[in-house]
Amino acid sequence: MRADSLDVRRYLDTRRRLVERALAARFPPRPSALRRAIRYSLLGGGKRLRPILALAAGEVAGAPVRTVLPFACALELVHTYSLVHDDLPAMDDDDLRRGLPTSHKVFGEGVAILVGDALLTEAFELMAGARHVAPRNALAAVAEMARAAGEGGMVGGQALDLEAEGRAATLAAIRTIHRRKTGALFRAAVRVGALVANARPALLRRLTTYGEQLGLCFQIADDIADAAGAGDGRTDHVLGKATYPALLGMGRARTHAERARDAALAAVAPLGARATPLRAIATLVVAQLDAPVVLARTG
């Protein structure tokens, strides 16, 4: 377990750097406010967990890293776009992200809206221009990403979240919002990696379950870390935002996270050594609640 844990940290670090190099190469510095703002939000840190999951799922399905990398980067572009737009005053109105002023605080709201628009669009350009992938598989990944990001996924989840603010929420309502806001992109991350590799249906189903359960586990863990960070989850109460710990208490929330982790682990249990990174990531998401290092809340 300790050896595994060391390995996964090295694994995550190597993959994170790989993704960051690719992102930086895709957006070199240019003398425009928009490009500066894009680089500020995209290259300012983050765990790069979604792209790493895509790479790890691709590995399980037999795709080389260079094949999956453009799609992995596209996942990070979609994730970053959603953060920039969600932080806007008309949305969650956040001044800080990863310890730094949010995009609209630095560049103004207009530019921040355009940063999100550009990142979302570029995600699709990256996927459509990927080499080493059969067009049919690339197109399946485009469809997967769009479904996860759109009205039925992230955008719809954020709309529900806006509507729900200040209202008493049920556990069912929280699950729905989380599944669409966060879970959809985790699910898409592993599916995109698998689709690019042309994974067989049975493998795709296992990876899909893994992605869904990991997304849930991650979101609950994130809520717990938030609540612990604020001492008593006060920030979320003030915002009227419902969270797992607010609704269930810390202990039961953690049990829910552990159950989701176990379901994720069970889904990939038969996949052998190739799925070691996926197993290690799922284990780490809950383990980091006791020693928040690698997957600490940096995005």
The first and second tokens of residue 183, run together, are 């879970």
x/- letters, 175..214, toward a second copy (CB under 8 A): ----------------------------------------
The answer to whether residue 173 forms part of the interface with a second copy (CB under 8 A) is no
> Of these, 38, 214, 265, 295, which contacts a second copy (CB under 8 A)?
38
Q: Which is nearer to a second copy, 140 or 224 (CB)?
A: 140
Q: Which stretch binds a second copy (CB under 8 A): 7-15, 43-51, 55-63, 115-123?
A: 115-123
d(CA 47, CA 256): 23
> Of these, 43, 65, 90, 293, which contacts a second copy (CB under 8 A)?
90
CB of 61 within 8 A of CB of 203? yes
The answer to whether residue 106 forms part of the interface with a second copy (CB under 8 A) is no
Q: Which is nearer to a second copy, 150 or 270 (CB)?
A: 150
The answer to whether residue 147 forms part of the interface with a second copy (CB under 8 A) is yes
What are the angstrom distances between the C-alpha of 243 and each of 107, 177, 216, 237? Answer: 31, 10, 12, 9
The first and second tokens of residue 3, run together, are 């050896």
* Count of alpha carbons within 13 angstroms of residue 178, beta-carbon side: 23
Q: Which stretch binds a second copy (CB under 8 A): 9-17, 125-133, 173-181, 212-220?
A: 125-133
The answer to whether residue 109 forms part of the interface with a second copy (CB under 8 A) is yes
d(CA 296, CA 299): 8
Look at phi and psi of residue 161 and say left if phi exceeds 0, alpha if psi is from -120 to 50, else beta. alpha
Alpha helices in the chain (DSSP H): 2-26, 33-42, 49-60, 65-86, 103-107, 109-128, 135-149, 154-164, 171-178, 184-196, 201-229, 234-238, 244-248, 250-268, 276-287
Strands 96-97 and 100-101: antiparallel
Q: How near is the Cβ of 212 to a second copy at its closest, in Å? A: 20
The answer to whether residue 143 forms part of the interface with a second copy (CB under 8 A) is yes
> Of these, 102, 158, 243, 283, which contacts a second copy (CB under 8 A)?
158
Total number of residues that touch a second copy (CB under 8 A): 49
> Of these, 22, 100, 106, 146, which contacts a second copy (CB under 8 A)?
146
The answer to whether residue 32 forms part of the interface with a second copy (CB under 8 A) is yes
> Which parts of this chain interact with a second copy (CB under 8 A)?
32-35, 38, 85, 88-91, 108-114, 116-118, 120-122, 124-125, 127-129, 134-136, 138-140, 142-143, 145-147, 149-151, 155-156, 158-160, 162-163
